[in-house]
Amino acid sequence: MDLILYAIPVFFLLILFEFGYGMLRGRNTYRLNDTINSLSLGSLSRLQGLVILGVSGTTYELFVARFQLAQLPATAVWVWISCFVLYDLVYYWKHRFGHEVALLWGAHVAHHQSEDFNLGTALRQTSMDFYSVLFYLPFFVLGYPAEILFTVVSLNLIYQFWVHTEHVPKLGPLEWILVTPSNHRVHHARNGIYVDRNYGGVFILWDRLFGSFQEELPDTPVVYGLNKPLRSWNPVWANVHVYWRLLRDCMQAPGILNKLKVWFMPPGWSVPGVKTSCKLRAGANAPAEKFDPPLSRLTRIYTFAQFLLTVSLSLFLLLNTTSYSYAFIAGAVSILTYSFYVHGLWLEGRPHARWHETARLGMIIGGVQLAEPAFAIELGLTAVCSAALMIVWGSGALFKPPPVAVTVN
């Protein structure tokens, strides 16, 4: 059972709670642009599953049906517990390979791009996770039923949500056993001493056992993000930028063997004498200025409002997939993906954002007509999109950056 979809409302409530708590304590860890970008990536990761029909899960179930291996009893408690522990061990190695092999790092990098660390970062997931099925094969061979495995996968991911916060200190003896906010902050750091450590999903014991554990140090504040920051709020580019750079490096590398090594060596590897563009995880100890283009207040309000509409449409589609044809779902996912891309243009202050916004809103209005939802929903969406068009074309304030403060000596 995929529990993630049902947990999404709880995730959003906890994000609001953390934001409110941070504001009250004077330690806000959220920025609007970064949060929208993280939640856009999370939404896309769920939507792409509707188009590719859950390749990993479908492949696993086909293997089970085709080879008809003996299945462990689905009602036995020991089967559930053993699957939970074994999956976390397998997840450790999947996660570690995702950092140590350039091809796999390209699929995982989106989760590490944020220069902030909060519960919104937990939902910053990739749409390029094409290799998970390889790590499911041991469970197939051992006879774990698909429904147990994918319920355990969901529980593992749900556990990881709460450890993405700066508001929880070290938790004493639990730091030796479980993944906690403290040791997971280390995992998201780009400081040299912290890079590529603490891969566990639920149990930190694997890191202690296999030599990849690093404690959070009081005299070394965590600096989040990549050594080579993405500096973009484009969620599509966030998913593919490493592959684009790997392709460039591959084309520059001499010889077939070196071209293959570009993809399968650690991120940043290069042929001696050939400059690489993919050294994204090398450590850095000095804080970097966060990517934060200046925007007018109206731009922020408008983008946030449109983002909420896009997320609402995404959730509606995820919860009503059986009501529509595959062709309609694929078209809707394309429009929603384009919408998240356009929100990124607004957040970057791009002048051509209004043209893309006009096209996007037109697509939504057209899509609503094809979907034939309840009249009230159709009328409401059409009214919202029409009002948005009037704001985009009628308000020059939407495109004016805030005034720069001038210091007089």
pLDDT, tens digit (0-9, with 9 covering 90-100), for 168-182: 999 999 999 999 999
pLDDT-derived band at 370 (thresholds 50, 70, 90) equals: confident
Neighbours of 393 (CB within 10 A): 12
Task: Inform me whether the pLDDT recorded for 285 exceeds 80.
Answer: no
Query: Do the beta carbons of residue 382 and residue 368 sit within 8 Å?
Result: yes
Query: Do the beta carbons of residue 118 and residue 37 sit within 8 Å?
Result: no
Specify the pTM: 0.90
Task: Inform me whether the pLDDT recorded for 401 exceeds 80.
Answer: no
**Going by C-beta distance under 8 Å and a sequence separation of 6 or more, which residues neighbour residue 51?**
329, 330, 333
Tokens of 160: 């990881």
Q: Whose CA is closest to 238, among 326, 125, 331?
A: 125
**Going by C-beta distance under 8 Å and a sequence separation of 6 or more, which residues neighbour residue 374?**
none
Q: Average the pLDDT over each of 47-56, 112-121, 301-310 and give the range with the smallest value.
A: 47-56
**Going by C-beta distance under 8 Å and a sequence separation of 6 or more, which residues neighbour residue 366?**
none
Query: Do the beta carbons of residue 188 and residue 112 sit within 8 Å?
Result: yes
Segment 293-320 mean pLDDT: 91
Q: What proportions of the chain, in percent to the nearest 5, are helix, strand and coil? A: 65, 0, 35
Task: Inform me whether the pLDDT recorded for 60 exceeds 50.
Answer: yes
> Where do the structural domains in the chain lie, given as residue ranges?
4-101+113-210, 297-399
Per-residue pLDDT at 398:
65
**Going by C-beta distance under 8 Å and a sequence separation of 6 or more, which residues neighbour residue 399?**
296, 299, 351, 354
Per-residue pLDDT at 141:
86
Classify residue 124 as left (phi > 0), alpha (psi -120 to 50) or beta.
Answer: beta
The Cα-based distances of 9 to 33, 128, 262, 311, 357 in angstroms read 21, 24, 41, 12, 27
Per-residue pLDDT at 407:
44
- Name the residue with higher pLDDT: 384 or 232: 232
E strand or H helix at 120: helix 119-122
Neighbours of 322 (CB within 10 A): 5
Give the pLDDT confidence of 240-280 residue by residue, as tens digits: 999 999 999 999 999 999 999 999 999 988 887 666 655 54
Per-residue pLDDT at 129:
86
SS3 assignment, position 189: strand
